[in-house]
Amino acid sequence: SGAVFGILLWRRDSATCWCVLGSVCAAASCKALKVLINQSRPSGTRKIDPGMPSSHAQSLGFLSISFALDLSFPFTAPQLRLANGDATPWRFVGAAALVLGGVFGTWLRVTLGYHTFPQVAVGYALGAASAVAWQSLYGHQILPHLEASEGASQLLRFIQVSTAFAAVLFAAKSVRDLVKDRRTE
């Protein structure tokens, strides 16, 4: 969360805002699924909330796949994408490293005993699928409007305000959950 917030402060362009907004929306859908499925975590873990699907795996899946897609197959307007530069083999190596890093972080959730393998597999798959859909929506619906001269600034402002609002809501919920967890210990 801190790293995403830092990147958002550093880069306030539409692609970064869109990615963060998508990450928050995907996290909210993951939390809703946790409540609906209500599957317990492995025995012995300190966390008491449901474990299916893993929220951390979902976030790692969304962010690693989003950045890997943008790195491998950037959209046409260089100022409106996350990664800049020419498509070279090194971009694909970087994309593979991002995905492997996301998978490794997901695997750690199992080895640390916070989740079962199915919980992280579903979480990562949910995040990856959300990233593909979100990036496709950006490339085929949002980006063409941002490239057009009319209405581009209003759309960009809407994306930025929506992202800020979603990030504040997410941060408030995270702090509330942290306080709640500390009280139950």
Average pLDDT per block of 10 residues along the chain, 185 residues long: 67 72 82 83 73 84 86 59 58 85 88 85 91 80 66 69 75 74 63
Q: Which pLDDT belongs to residue 2?
A: 63
Burial of 29 (0-12, 13-18, 19+ CB in 10 A): middle
Distance between CA atoms of residues 141 and 161, nearest Å:
19
Q: Which pLDDT belongs to residue 79?
A: 47
Distance between CA atoms of residues 108 and 125, nearest Å:
16
Q: Which pLDDT belongs to residue 100?
A: 92
170 in Cβ contact with 55 (< 8 Å):
no
Q: Which pLDDT belongs to residue 74?
A: 67
Place of tokens 């950037």: 74
62 in Cβ contact with 127 (< 8 Å):
yes
Q: What is the dihedral of CA 116, 112, 53, 179, to 10 degrees?
A: 140
Distance between CA atoms of residues 99 and 78, nearest Å:
22
Which residues, including other chains, have CB under 8 Å from residue 102's CB and lie 6 or more apart? 60, 61, 63, 64, 65, 124
- Retrieve residue 45's tokens: 């873990």
